[in-house]
Amino acid sequence: MDSTLDLLDLLRTERTQLLEETGSDANIGEALEKILAQHPTASPERDAAFEALYLSVDPIVAAADADVSREPNDLDAILAAAPANLPALGAVATGDNLADRMLGAWQGRIAGCILGKPVEGFSKEEIDQVLASVGETTITDFVPEPTVIPRWAELKDDVKMGCLRGNIRRAEFDDDINYTVLSLLVMESKGRDFTPVDVMWAWLKLLPAGQTYTAERVAYRNFLNNVLPPESACVRNPYREWIGAQIRTDFFGYANPGNPRAAAAMAWRDACISHRKNGIYGAMFSAAANAAAFASTDIEQAVREGIAVLPEQSRLAIALNEVIAWWKEDGTDWPRCHARILKRHDGMSWVHTINNAAITVMALLFGGGDLGRTISIAVHAGLDTDCNGATAGSIVGALRGARALPAKWIAPFNDTVECSLASYGTNKITDLATRSVKIARQGGAA
């Protein structure tokens, strides 16, 4: 990537981030307009002007990050700002039931990811066009190859083609799946007391830099420049509240079945190397909701347990509680709830934590614990479709267990998932689940 364009993108994204975080863009927009007017094409002088602007912005970003009165970054402070009274969980899955739910969590996560991968970044309207091209109006199976979307010709590749209806022979690699496997590997090698630095070293050893994006790529760059966690999440990282950490932490729910707070604490150790504030909270929500699903009686309970580890006044907690309220108002009308989410978060990046977490919660609630309906809503709603489908599918899979999942969403993978981690290519899904049960039992699960 051209360094000038990269710095311009960072500054533009930082402007939006500061507006969301503080209500002010620190005059970045005006300053950028002046620089671009003076230097309309790339040049050393424009590079220098961008760098000077970022140097003036750095202390403003640091001050915004330091304002933790409402949205803290420290784990203890986060949990202290969470609700005092947690919902009561049911009995934690044990024995064969735990093994079945663990496999269900992996299978549900993979099914949702692969369903959403071909249309990642599409809007609901574009997905409507994809379906209309084959005479369909709702998602009831894996996505067909689009025939009327101009973007598809630009975006399709062999991996996405392998995720389309009729083409699936295995679960193709995806960053959502990479990180879930990577978390398993970290816990197998470092145990339950792994540190943020352990996660950093696992990335550097196993995760190709080209398979990192936005906040993760910034953090990776910072690691190589000897900026260690948690500072690695802070240095010139305008993506610090985007979805990257939220997609990485389902496994910590698997490692702590029935213990949402322990899962959230582990998620924090992972998330803090690349994210701050609501970027961290999304990771904690995902881990906690997955942990709760192993002991929940219904999907709403798992969702509420996930929200219960978040600071009550955080933007994410407020947004997710709004979705619950809209669900209770809208009954079965998820498109109306979806429209309210988009309006509420208008202008937010399609890979932000808050709007995508809201869509995930919407899918879980309106899906009612049915895997197919849940991941179909999560994907049909658009935005970061593979991430939302994966997280929603994981939580439903942990709640229902593998034996209850419809074969149409699971059988096409032939128990096989690909990764692009170093030395970890082809994996058996059942093997990953068995190894995950072992990790859970090391923490006290029966």
pLDDT in tens, 340-386: 999 999 999 999 999 999 999 999 999 999 999 999 999 999 999 99
| Type of residue found at 438 | K
pLDDT in tens, 412-441: 999 999 999 998 999 999 999 999 999 999
Q: How does the average pLDDT of the chain come out, rounded?
A: 94
Type and span of the H or E element at 417? strand 416-421
Could you say which DSSP state residue 257 is in? Answer: T
- List the structure tokens of 66: 């330091």
Looking at residues 74-96, what average pLDDT do you find? Answer: 86
**205 touches 186 (CB < 8 A):** no
pLDDT of 173 > 60? The answer is: yes
Reference 69, options 224, 277, 326, 336; nearest CA is 277
pLDDT of 200 > 60? The answer is: yes
In DSSP notation, 115-149 reads HHGGGTT-BHHHHHHHHHTTT-SS--SSPPPPSS-
Reference 215, options 162, 262, 277; nearest CA is 277
pLDDT category of residue 145 using cuts at 50, 70 and 90: confident
Separation between Cα atoms, residue 247 and residue 339, nearest integer Å: 23
Separation between Cα atoms, residue 128 and residue 130, nearest integer Å: 5
Give the SS3 label for residue 99. Answer: helix
Give the SS3 label for residue 242. Answer: strand
Residues 6+ apart with CB under 8 A from 30: none
pLDDT category of residue 157 using cuts at 50, 70 and 90: confident
**340 touches 326 (CB < 8 A):** yes
Place of tokens 């990046």: 349
pLDDT of 266 > 60? The answer is: yes
- List the structure tokens of 9: 């993108």
DSSP bridge partners of 428: 416
Reference 99, options 301, 294, 389; nearest CA is 294
pLDDT in tens, 20-41: 999 999 999 999 999 999 999 9
pLDDT of 1 > 70? The answer is: no
Q: From the centroid of its chain, how far is CA 347? A: 19
Alpha helices in 232-348 (DSSP H): 250-254, 260-271, 278-293, 299-307, 315-330, 334-344
Look at residue 87 in the predicted model and tell me its pLDDT. Answer: 64
pLDDT of 5 > 50? The answer is: no
Looking at residues 270-299, what average pLDDT do you find? Answer: 97
Looking at residues 137-166, what average pLDDT do you find? Answer: 86
